[in-house]
Amino acid sequence: MYDLNELRTFVSVMETGNLKESALKLGVSKSTLSRRVQHLEQVLNQPLLRRQANRLIANEAGTQFLPFAKKILYLADDGHRAVEALRDDVSGSLKVYVHTKLAYGWFSKRASAFVDRFSNVDIDVTVGCQALSDIEQYDLCIWLQEPIGAQIKSEALGALKQGLYASPHCAEQLIGITHPSDIDASLWVNLFNCEENGIALEHEILPSVFIEAPRPRLRMSQYEYHVDAILQGKGVGLLPHYFAQPHFTSNESDRLCPVLPGWEGEDSPIYLHYSFGCLSKKLQTFLQYLREEAKGLQ
């Protein structure tokens, strides 16, 4: 009979298509992964994978077996979580998937403070800007915009409020400008690949506008590059207020200035996504901690 490690290996290889990458992800050698896959195929009396160029992809049997493997792993993990929830102490590992806009600054500081407070807990954080299709592999997902699935419990945490910011040098070029449409198109920073190619802005009195920024030649999926471009004086960009405020009194190279007061980006609702049912003590504690810290996002 096959074991859970063999199923985890098979699912990982299906996701990465590469033994080396899966070996690094699972913390074992390539030879160990190969033996696990071979044994699984022997037990099933069917080959599951075939090599195409430098990647491993599923054959028909592998494609058919994959959802069953995932379901077995999910049930096993769910059973482990149910038993673990009986523990009174806050300990163990948490796997968290965080939207890149929240990870840069706000979440990283809160997660660090949490593990400092609870020395028996460690948090494995994955940062991304693509919605998950298989959230069950994580204990918690912290996401923006709409809930990502009816099968997952979604709890509103707050709203990400954003404004327009620039470096001191760039802000000087905007003195006298009061409306976003008056800003030269070349001054809009839009290196963040997860945004539409433009910015929606709202005002308490004036009509909302949509700024169609030119498509950048350099596009990045990591939010840090978007922030760095603004700090380097490449133009005006939309940033969360929580992130920008500590930069008001920084040195010249790390300073941000608010521009066009009164114009705000659309609020992005923040959700906590986690499984229904019995939650581990460590996850319950972490969720409560994030609820208390959510005021830092306003």
Residues 189-204 have a mean pLDDT of 73
Strand 140-144 relative to strand 237-240: parallel, antiparallel, unpaired?
A: unpaired
Q: Are residues 14 and 110 in the same domain?
A: no
Examine the domain organization and report whether 239 and 151 are in the same domain.
Answer: no
Q: What is the pLDDT of residue 258?
A: 92
Whether residue 183 contacts residue 166, with contact meaning beta carbons closer than 8 Å, is answered with no
- pLDDT at 287 exceeding the cut of 90: yes
Return the SS3 of 18. Answer: coil
CB-based contact 223:191 (threshold 8 Å): no
- Residue 172 is part of which domain span? 161-267
Which CATH number fits the domain that encloses residue 169? Answer: 3.40.190.290
Cβ–Cβ under 8 Å, residues 9 and 36: yes
Mean pLDDT computed over 201-205: 91
C-alpha to C-alpha distance for 245 and 1, rounded to whole angstroms: 57
Q: Tens digits of per-residue pLDDT, 29-71?
A: 888 888 888 888 888 888 888 877 677 788 888 888 888 888 8
Share of the chain above pLDDT 90, in %: 14
Q: Rounded to an integer, what distance in angstroms lies between the CA atom of residue 118 and that of residue 115?
A: 5
Total domain count, the chain: 3
Q: Which residues contact 268 (CB under 8 A, 6 or more apart)?
A: 101, 144, 145, 159, 160, 162
On whether both 198 and 259 belong to a single domain, the answer is yes
Q: Which of these three, 84, 115, 145, is where a domain ends?
A: 84
Mean pLDDT value across residues 253-261: 87
Q: Which CA distances in Å does 35 have to 30, 70, 280?
A: 9, 20, 33
Do 139 and 169 share a domain, yes or no?
A: no
Query: Greater confidence, 131 or 266?
Result: 266
Query: Does the pLDDT at position 16 exceed 90?
Result: no
CATH classification of the domain holding 43: 1.10.10.10
Cα four-point dihedral sign 131, 137, 142, 148 = positive
The pLDDT, as a whole number, for residue 293 is 87
Asked if 153 and 132 sit in the same domain, the reply is yes
Res 208: pLDDT:
92
Write down which residue in 60, 84, 108 finishes a domain.
Answer: 84
**What pLDDT is attached to residue 113?**
92
pLDDT range class, residue 146, cuts 50, 70, 90: low
Mark which of 30, 64, 84 sits at the end of a domain. 84
Q: How far is CA 134 from CA 5, 20, 97, 152, 180, in A?
A: 19, 22, 11, 10, 39
Percent of the chain whose predicted confidence (pLDDT) is above 70: 87
149 and 280 part of one domain: yes
Cα–Cα distances in angstroms (integers) from residue 166 to residues 31, 206, 207, 212, 252, in the given order: 51, 22, 23, 18, 12
- For residue range 62-110, list pLDDT tens digits in order: 888 888 888 888 888 877 776 666 555 788 899 999 988 888 778 888 8
Give the number of residues written for the chain.
298
Given this model, what pLDDT does residue 263 score? Answer: 92
* Nearest-10 crossing angle of helices 108-117, 281-293: 130
Comparing CA positions, the residue from 191, 97, 88, 93 lying closest to residue 137 is 97
